Every structure is written in structure tokens, then in C-alpha cells.
Amino acid sequence: MAHDMEDSRRRALIGLLTDFGDLDTYVGVMKAIIAGIAPSAAVIDLGHRIRPGDIRQAAFQLWQVADKFPAGSVLVVVVDPGVGTARRAVACQWRQMVLVGPDNGVFTYLLAIESASAAVVLAEPRFHHTPVSATFHGRDIFAPVAAHLAGGTPLKELGPAANGLQQFELPLLERLGADGLSGEVVHVDAFGNLITTLGRLRHDADGCALAPWLPKSEPGVFHGEGAALLPDGFELPLMTTFGDVAPGEPVAYLGSEGLLEIGVRGGSAAERFALTVGAPIQLRFRG
């Protein structure tokens, strides 16, 4: 019994992140392909409502979850507006897990933290579901490759080396001297909360400590009371949680990943302030 429990804990994990939604069978058939190759692998739905073709949203949400997965996991991203074109299908070793998906920038935030130690083009047909469709590489390439990886197939067997993985330009995160940070909205979640690039931050004894998640900013400590400045000059004092303001009121707080977020208690900050991805936000500290 103990041995069975240990094997269960060591089951390979495959995470799926797509823009397929839940109205069609696309995600289900990917899982069927995986089950046929690696029936003992655990498949986790990371989300299937990425805005269609939104590579940046996929890259950010992949960053949100990647460090929560144990060593040996396989994370599959299928947000692929260039499917069937000359864009490459790739897999790469990132830290102690493997990332699988199109070479279109979906791994940008992870690769900005640490480069892949190895990467291959998924060109070996014996690891594909055939015939390979020109429009559904999620089913025919990415899902079976993920299953083979979960079953122990070495990365190098999947195809030739892939150099120079695609990355998009990183969003803004800059220090404003000792007084604060300048950044932008990087994601709007399902609640209408505006998640910014400002962080990672944690409340310190007399301010906030910064350990940046993007490589362009330096770590440090900000002293005093913090306040978020929105593009129209609206200022929100930095609070701890939604409960610090009355229902219907806006609030600035540090979200679960340590990034500054703007929310409305019981409402949508995106609607309240008519802001979306790319909107400039500052965080200022006054001693």
C-alpha cells in the first residue's frame, strides 16, 4: 500500500492552457490523446478561456502557475494563431519542467527569468498523432508529445535543437528613484481586477520590499505609505485587501503573486476606470 501511494505521488503532471473555450470538444480530444499514450499521467486544466490568439495573456498566466508545479511536470500552451504556418512547434527544458507549445512568445515571461537549458523542434513524426492536421496541432503534436514526455521520453528524441526561441518585448517596470515604481496593467482577470507589472512586492515593517519579477528593475525597499496613481490622476492608497474599503469602492492592494492590483469591492475596476492592458500605473511612497 505504501509503495502504491508513493507511485501515486510521483505521477507525471501535465498542465493544459489554451484559448479553446469550453463549447467545443477540442480540450477533451487532447485529453483523450494523452490518456491513450500516458494513462497514468494527471492532467490539470490551467484554463481554456485565454482570449483567442492572445499570446501575451497566455504567457502571463503561464508565469502565474509555473512555479506551483513540481519537478518533472509538463506544461502545454496552445494559443497558436500561426498554426499551420512556418512558426515552429517546440518543447524546452525550463528549470525542472518541460514547456510544450508554439514558438510564438508564449514562454516569454518564464524565459525572461531563466533561459531554457535545452529546446527542440517537434519534428519527429513517431511522437505525433497522425495524420497531422494543419489547423489542430494541439491534438496532433502538442498533446501526444506531452504524453510521451510524461511517460519518460527524453527531450532530445523529439527533434533537432531549437535555437533562439521567440520572445516579445517585456512590459514596463521601472524604478522611480527611492520613491516608487512605474509600470502598466499586464492582465485583467475575470473579476475585472487590473493586475499590474508593479512587483513582486511584500509589505515590510514601514513600507514595501521589492523583488522584481521582470529583469529590468532592481530590488529594494520603499519606505512610507504607498499609493497607486491611475492615468487620470486618481490616487488610491495601498491597502491589504478588499475588506479594507466599503462595497462598491475601489482599492489598491498587493495580489496573491505580489503584484500591485486595482480592484473594486464587489465590482469591476476595468469598467469603473475604463482601463485595460497597457494602461500606465505608478506606485508612489511618501515617508
- DSSP for 218-251 reads --EEEESEEEEE-TTS-EEEEESSGGGS-TT-EE
Establish if 163 belongs to a structural domain: no
Average pLDDT in the chain: 94
Q: For residue 139, what are the contacts with CB-CB under 8 A and spacing of at least 6?
A: 26, 29, 30, 33, 129, 133
Considering the domain architecture, whether residues 151 and 117 belong to the same structural domain is answered as yes
Establish if 38 belongs to a structural domain: yes
The pLDDT of residue 6: 42
pTM here?
0.93
Considering the domain architecture, whether residues 185 and 147 belong to the same structural domain is answered as no
Angle at CA of residue 276, ends 104 and 207, nearest 5°? 100
The pLDDT of residue 205: 82
Establish if 7 belongs to a structural domain: yes
CATH classification at residue 95: 3.40.50.10790
Q: pLDDT tens digits, residue range 112-144?
A: 999 999 999 999 999 999 999 999 999 999 999
The pLDDT of residue 177: 87
C-alpha–C-alpha distance, residues 181 and 162, integer Å: 36
Per-residue pLDDT at 204 exceeds 90: no
Per-residue pLDDT at 157 exceeds 60: yes
Angle at CA of residue 218, ends 217 and 219, nearest 5°? 125
Considering the domain architecture, whether residues 236 and 260 belong to the same structural domain is answered as yes
For the chain, the domain total comes to 2
Establish if 164 belongs to a structural domain: no
CATH classification at residue 201: 2.40.30.90
Q: pLDDT tens digits, residue range 16-54?
A: 999 999 999 999 999 999 999 999 999 999 999 999 999
What percent of the chain clears pLDDT 70, i.e. is strictly above it? 97
Establish if 167 belongs to a structural domain: no
Considering the domain architecture, whether residues 73 and 214 belong to the same structural domain is answered as no
The pLDDT of residue 10: 61
pLDDT tier for residue 206 given thresholds of 50, 70 and 90: confident
Considering the domain architecture, whether residues 231 and 89 belong to the same structural domain is answered as no
Considering the domain architecture, whether residues 151 and 187 belong to the same structural domain is answered as no
Task: Identify whether the C-beta of residue 273 lies closer than 8 Å to the C-beta of residue 262.
Answer: yes
> Which residues span the domain enclosing 147?
2-158
Q: pLDDT tens digits, residue range 161-202?
A: 999 999 999 999 999 988 999 999 999 999 999 999 999 999
pLDDT tier for residue 4 given thresholds of 50, 70 and 90: very low
Considering the domain architecture, whether residues 35 and 152 belong to the same structural domain is answered as yes
Per-residue pLDDT at 235 exceeds 60: yes
